[in-house]
């Protein structure tokens, strides 16, 4: 491909992505676009994790179980790598950790106005209107998160 053709292609792709910028949350660990409209009207459990975090490693199976348990109930589990891994590195880390839920390559903190935590793991519960309802520090269980979600949804 000539230099000019490459510049035109990159420009066209960039313009196409600009139109999508507000309608998606970037890519997941498999390189698939995570559309914002697929999350609208859903409660979100957003978990920050890292490979070096021992409590995170213990918590991941609980989050996997929660994802299966709440399937079809208007709740999505989303992971975010604390070390901002991207591309193949993110996929490899997610696979190594055994993560079965969606891991976002881009941090959604700005979109949801999430406070930055200096400890891991940290989990945020975001309601179906996009408002942060809980910030939970430390290792969580599927049972505990289910109880918190039920209590918050009942309010």
Concatenated DSSP letters of 46-112: EEEE-TT-HHHHHHHHHHHHHHHHTTTTTEEEEEEETT---HHHHHHHHHHHT--SEEESS--HHHH
Tens digit of pLDDT for each residue in 115-130? 989 899 999 999 999 9
**Rg, Å, the chain Cα set:** 17
Across the chain, mean pLDDT equals 88
- The tokens describing 45, both together, are 């459990």
DSSP 8-state assignment for residue 119: S
| Topology annotation, domain 23-154 | Glutaredoxin (3.40.30)
Domain borders along the chain are 23-154
* Distance, CA of 136 to chain centre: 15
pLDDT of residue 1: 53
HSE-up of residue 89 (Cα within 13 Å, Cβ side): 9
Which pTM value belongs to this model? 0.84
User: Quick one: which of 76, 70, 74, 139 has its CA closest to 103?
Assistant: 76
Q: Which residues contact 100 (CB under 8 A, 6 or more apart)?
A: 64, 67, 68
Give bridge partners of residue 134 from the DSSP assignment: 125
Tens digit of pLDDT for each residue in 60-115? 999 999 999 998 999 999 999 999 999 999 999 999 999 999 999 999 999 999 99
CA distance 50 to 65: 19
């Amino acid at each position: 491909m000539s230099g000019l053709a490459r510049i035109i292609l990159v420009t066209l792709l960039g313009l196409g992505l600009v139109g999508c910028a507000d309608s998606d949350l970037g890519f997941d660990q498999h390189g698939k676009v995570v559309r914002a409209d697929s999350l609208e009207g859903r409660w979100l459990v957003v978990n920050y994790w890292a490979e070096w975090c021992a409590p995170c490693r213990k918590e991941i199976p609980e989050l996997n179980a929660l994802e299966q348990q709440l399937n079809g109930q208007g709740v999505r589990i989303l992971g975010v790598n604390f070390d901002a891994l991207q591309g193949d590195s993110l996929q490899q880390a997610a696979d190594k950790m055994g993560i079965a839920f969606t891991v976002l390559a881009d941090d959604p903190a700005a979109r949801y106005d999430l406070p930055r935590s200096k400890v891991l793991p940290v989990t945020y519960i975001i309601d179906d209107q996009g408002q942060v309802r809980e910030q939970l520090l430390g290792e969580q269980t599927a049972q505990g998160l289910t109880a918190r979600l039920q209590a918050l949804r009942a309010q």
